[in-house]
Homo-oligomer: A and B are copies of this chain.
């Protein structure tokens, strides 16, 4: 019977310099010396996997300000790494764009569209993290985990554009998020830049934990609140006695 290990791996994503980037760590040893891998490590005996990710990120790359962490998937191909078998539980972890954690020399941020040579199956993990983030930006409030605590709409647009990989309109972004109750004006404004322009209002996210804001694409359950008392239809025995 061979040994079976369990590791956790995190794709730590952040919007930096207007691009979505991932934190990678350069392997110093065989196998695959010089390739870039995701931070993580062996699961400890007394921690669950999420605690393990947080611990490893804090210890190994000194990243402590994770605004959001969620499970991605398990990678379990028997030969996914050489030697003893290791199963990987993978995570999506987000860092707000106002943070700039001090990271070790052998780690670096890479734009997710220009990854270097990655180790093992780590590229698949990164792509999965990216896709998950992009989907969730559409139907949840994860934006809070990417943006600074307070921001102008155009700063937020830049964050969304970087994360989604295509231009987003500030006008419509503001309207959608407002309608969903995600945005709150702080009441303050920031002065315009050197080239002029109207001062921008500051906003914040209404909630700082993930929530599904757009739950049903279709097949919505029958409305219960809005129609208080539609005129009693033909023969239907209504709910009221």
Query: Which residues of A are interface residues toward B (Cβ below 8 A)?
Result: 1-2, 4, 6, 43, 45-50, 71, 73-74, 76-78, 85, 87, 89, 113, 135, 137-139, 160, 164-168, 173, 176, 214-219, 221-222, 239
Contact = CB atoms under 8 A, between A and B. Distances in A.
Decide if the interface of chain A is mainly helix, strand, loop or mixed: loop
A131 to B, nearest CB: 10
A78 B219 contact: no
A222 B169 CA distance: 10
A112 to B, nearest CB: 13
B214 A214 contact: no
A165 to B, nearest CB: 8
Contacts of A138: 216-219
A96 B130 CA distance: 32
Nearest to A70: B73
Nearest to A221: B166
